Amino acid sequence: MTRIAIIIGSTRPGRNGEAVARWVHEHAAKRTGVEYELVDLKDWDLPHLDEAMPAAMGQYAGEHTKAWAAKIDEFDGYIFVTPEYNHSTSGALKNAIDYVGAEWFNKAAGFVSYGVFGGARAVEHLRLVLSQLQVATVSAHVGLSLAHDFENWALKPTQQQEAALTPLFDQVESWSRALETVRAESAAESAAA
């Protein structure tokens, strides 16, 4: 079964990300033939990147890194729930992405963002970062506006935003399944080497 992580990309006290991710997960759980799991960066308590070797080497020293690598490796795709801080994503999410390398390779990702402008600039930065990690990002994107999709800082998404989840799920699921072949070929090549 295709497995997709919904990654909560903020660890800030009072964050909106948890409510947004739970809303996404509530709708994702209604889908068939795919399993969605919430992954909260707050639960992982990753320190500022403390690995001596680059992630591309795959030589992880820290137990926290090995555990994070194993968790990321479990999934075929990801939906990143990201805030927009200063025209980019959160430092916590960028740090978590940088921790591991091959565990991200040849998988798919989509985005649900939130911020004054719907978090669009955070998503564009994440697309660049993930392209280096061979993650195929889908075009469907849900961008929640603090002015229109929240009331007194509480999530109140419009029907339009709720409807936008369907193409996001469709694209992440289909690309995740399609990239299974690429991952299998890559694994076979590594085993033969």
Name all domains of the chain by residue range, CATH numbers in brackets: 2-192 (3.40.50.360)
H helices of the chain, in order, are: 17-28, 41-44, 63-73, 91-99, 120-132, 159-192
Write down the pLDDT at residue 55: 96
Write down the pLDDT at residue 123: 98
Q: What b/e sequence results for 82-101 when a residue is b if at least 16 CB atoms lie within 10 Å of its CB, and e otherwise?
A: bbbbeebbbebbbbbbbbbb
Give the pLDDT band (50/70/90) at residue 191: confident
Q: Mean pLDDT throughout 37-65?
A: 96
Give the pLDDT band (50/70/90) at residue 189: confident
pLDDT digits (tens, 9 = 90+) for 108-166: 999 999 999 999 999 999 999 999 999 999 999 999 999 999 999 899 999 999 999 99
Residue reference for tokens 């990654």 = 7
With beta carbons less than 8 A apart as the criterion, state whether 110 and 171 touch.
yes
d(CA 124, CA 120): 6
With beta carbons less than 8 A apart as the criterion, state whether 180 and 108 touch.
no
pLDDT digits (tens, 9 = 90+) for 65-117: 999 999 999 999 999 999 999 999 999 999 999 999 999 999 999 999 999 99
**Both structure tokens of 22:** 């739970």
Is it the case that residue 187 has pLDDT exceeding 90? no
Write down the pLDDT at residue 115: 96
Report yes or no on whether pTM surpasses 0.85.
Answer: yes
pLDDT digits (tens, 9 = 90+) for 169-180: 999 999 999 999
Close Cβ partners of 132 (under 8 Å, ≥ 6 residues apart)? none
Q: How far is CA 174 from CA 82, 104, 137, in A?
A: 22, 17, 12
Write down the pLDDT at residue 102: 96
Is it the case that residue 193 has pLDDT exceeding 80? no
The helix/strand/coil state of 109 is strand
